[in-house]
Structure 1
Amino acid sequence: MIRKFFIFILIFITILSAQDKRKVALVPFENKGPASLNWISGGIEYLLSNKLSVASGFYVIDRRTMKRAFSEIGFNKGVTSDRIAIQIGRITGAEVAVSGTYTDSASQIKLSVYYYNTNNGNRIYQETIAVGKGELSNAADKIIQQLILISGVPVSDMEKNLMSRMLTRKPKAFESFIKAYMENNKPRPNTDIVIGLFRQAIMADKNFWEAYYNLGIVYFNAKKYDKALQQFNKIIAALPDFDKPYYGRGLIYEKQKKYDLAIKDFEQVIDFNPNDFKAYYNLGKISIKNKQYTQARKYLDKATELNPEYAPIYFEYGNLLVAQGNMRKSINDYRKAVELDPNNIKFRQTLGEVYYRSQIYYNALVEFDAILKMKPNHAVANFMRGVTIYKQAVLEELVEAFLDMLNEASGTKKAETSRQFKKNTAIDPVKKKKVYEDMVAAFTKAAQARPKFMQATFNLALTYLEMGDYNRAEQYFKKTIQIAPTLIKAYTKLAEVYEKTGRLPLAIEQYRKVFYLEPGIFVRQPTLGPEHHYRNVFKEFLSELNAKIKRNPNDVRSNIVLAKVFKAQGYNGKAANILRKVLSRQPNNREAKSILAAIEKGRR
Structure 2
Amino acid sequence: MTDNKDADWLKERSEYTTPHTRISSAKTTVSHKNSVNMQQFYPTICFPGDEDSPGIPSPRDEEWAARNASRAAKAEMDNAEVFSTQVDEEVIEGAKQRHRLILTEEASNHSDAISMEEMVCTKVQQHTEAALQLMSQDKHPAAIRLLNKAMHLQPDHIDLYVHRAEAFLRLTDFQSAILNYKRACVMDPNRTQYYNRLAFVYYFQGQCLYDQKLYPEALEAFSRATEMRPEVIGYQLRSIACLAALQRHGECLSLINKQLEMEHQNADLYIMRARLHRLFKNTTLSYYDVKDALEIDEYHPEAKRLMTVLIKHSVDLKNEAMKLNLLGRYRDALQKISLAIETNPSQPEFHILRGALHRRVGDFNSAIDDYLLALDKTDHDETNPLYMDTQRQLLLTYNDFAVECFSKNFFEEAIILLNKAIKGERNEKGLYINRGDCFFKDGNLQFALADYQQALELDPTDAMIHSRIAAIHNEHGLLNYQDKNYIEAESRFTLAAQHNPRMPKFYISRCKVRQVMENTAGARDDILFALHLDPLNKEVISMMSRLFPGKTANDVLHSPAALEAKKAVEHLVVRASPVRLDNMSSDNKSTNVQKTSEETPPPPSPWKAGKCFPGLKACMVEQDFHIKIAVEKKMINHQVQDALHHRPSLNIDSGRVQQMPKEIPRGKRTKKGNLIPMPPSKPKTKKSEGWKQFSTGIGVGN
Taking structure 2 as the reference length, the TM-score comes to 0.25
Q: Find the structure with the greater CA-based Rg.
A: 2
Greater strand fraction, Structure 1 or Structure 2? 1
Taking structure 1 as the reference length, the TM-score comes to 0.28
